[in-house]
Amino acid sequence: MNPEADMRRPLSLKTLKRGLRLAARVAKAELPRLKPPLPAAPPLPGRLVEFPAFGANPGKLRMLVHEPSGGEAPGRPLIVLLHGCGQQAAGFAEASGWIGLSDRLGIPLVLPEQASSNNGGRCFQWFEPAQTARGEGEAGSIAAMTQAAITRFGSHPDRIFIAGLSAGGAMTAAMLAAYPDLFAAGAVVAGLPVGSANSAMQGLMRMASAAPVARDEAVRQAAPQDYRGAWPHLSIWQGDADDTVAPENAERLAHQWQALHGLPEAPVRDETAAGVRHRTWGDALELWTLVGMGHGYPVGDGIGHTAPFMLDRGLPATARIADFWRLTDTD
């Protein structure tokens, strides 16, 4: 792959048409008053608590926390979940199976929720530099929530994790880049590489057709200038029939993390079974590609359930991500 040649190649008519269709979809989402209200969130086990005063909130986000039904103990991990466009934070956490895992392992969940006053489609704004920079915008709010929860629950500072779907997935990648000193690992489902876009329109085009990215440069530029610590590990998930986020974005994100960790391009393991390809680069990076799956979060095998953008493929991403993060190793 020659990134410089790719950058000189003009966008195809097919790509432009896909971008326009996505733009039309988002334009409709930007008219929330014409849409019916969101359904009420389902009743959840444990406790769902809102923390209106968690600290600096430059992104004007809502902080919800799921406290596990069996209670939590100091020193446990903490998980931050970022929903996709139009989703409710609690609904996403429940349908994906993270609520069940939280209750089983006694791990609290931080559930940031986007406001329609920020974005009509209720998407995290991963495409706006002012929203992803360290200490600014939505990224600053998510980091403040995380720090508040660490203090509240006495969470282990080396076991803080973050995962997200679609726009939440792209924002997850941005958070890992801006706060490598806060998060040990993350999971991006149907997201995009760090630095893919600098505006809403460019974001739409990059969703339609992945653009070359400057390998790990964008990630390093987002981190603190003097950062010399370890980089977060990353689990990537993508359906190869996704017509909302071009599947090539997952490959480009994997290339970023390969360079960041100094990993070879060829994976250590590359296995395909039952329409699922799983590539791993040691314990720092993995990439799951689901053949024939569209845009959404994989659920199944009794973990999570179908809902909008929650797709039953018999493979529960939540359980596999928990394994990758080694959540049960010392709990």
pLDDT tens digits for 223-252?
Answer: 999 999 999 999 999 999 999 999 999 999
The reported pLDDT for the residue numbered 234 is: 98
Side-chain half-sphere exposure of 245, counting CA atoms within 13 A: 29
The pLDDT of residue 142:
98
Per residue in 167-193, pLDDT (tens digit) is: 999 999 999 999 999 999 999 999 999
Percentage of the chain lying above the pLDDT 70 cut: 85
The pLDDT value recorded for residue 14 is 58
Report which of 212, 299, 252 is spatially closest to residue 7, judged by C-alpha positions: 212
Mean pLDDT of the chain: 89
pLDDT confidence of residue 61: 98
Q: For residue 5, what pLDDT is reported?
A: 40
pLDDT greater than 90 at residue 71: no
One-letter amino acid of 147: Q
Q: Indicate the burial class of 266 (C-beta count within 10 angstroms; 0-12, 13-18, 19 or more).
A: exposed
Q: What is the pLDDT of residues 182-224, one digit of tens each?
A: 999 999 999 999 999 999 999 999 999 998 876 799 999 999 9
Say how many C-beta atoms besides its own lie within 10 A of residue 230's C-beta: 12
Q: Round to whole Å and give the CA distance between 177 and 227.
A: 11
Q: Are 98 and 79 in contact (CB under 8 A)?
A: yes
Domain ranges of the chain: 13-30+44-324
96 is catalytic: no
For every residue of 148-189, DSSP letters joined together read HHHHHHT--TT-EEEEEETHHHHHHHHHHHH-TTT-SEEEEE
Model confidence at 66: pLDDT above 50: yes
CATH number of 13-30+44-324: 3.40.50.1820
**Which stretches of the chain are assigned E, i.e. beta strand?**
47-50, 62-67, 78-82, 109-113, 160-165, 185-189, 233-239, 269-273, 276-281, 285-290, 297-299, 310-312
Query: What is the rounded average pLDDT of the residues 274-289?
Result: 97
Residue 303 DSSP symbol: B
State residue 20's pLDDT score.
53
Instruction: Specify the DSSP element, H or E, that contains 261.
Output: helix 248-261
Confidence tier at 163 by pLDDT (50, 70, 90): very high
pLDDT (0 to 100) of residue 281 = 97
pLDDT of 9 above 60: no
- Residue 67 near residue 49, CB atoms below 8 Å: yes
* Long-range contact set of residues 255-262: C-beta below 8 Å, sequence gap at least 24: 255/193, 255/213, 255/215, 256/193, 256/194, 256/213, 256/215, 256/216, 256/218, 256/219, 257/216, 257/231, 257/284, 257/285, 258/285, 259/215, 259/216, 260/216, 260/219, 260/220, 260/231, 261/231, 261/285
Question: Any bridge partners for residue 48, and if so which?
Answer: 66
Give the pairing of strands 276-281 and 269-273: antiparallel
* pLDDT greater than 60 at residue 109: yes
User: What is the per-residue pLDDT across 117-161, written as a single tens digit (0 to 9) for each?
Assistant: 999 999 999 999 999 999 999 999 999 999 999 999 999 999 999
Catalytic residue among 166, 199, 209, 235, which?
166
> Per-residue pLDDT averaged across 300-317, rounded?
96
Residue 282 has a pLDDT of: 93
Contact (Cβ atoms closer than 8 angstroms) between residue 108 and residue 190:
no
Quickly state the pLDDT bin for 15 (edges 50, 70, 90). low
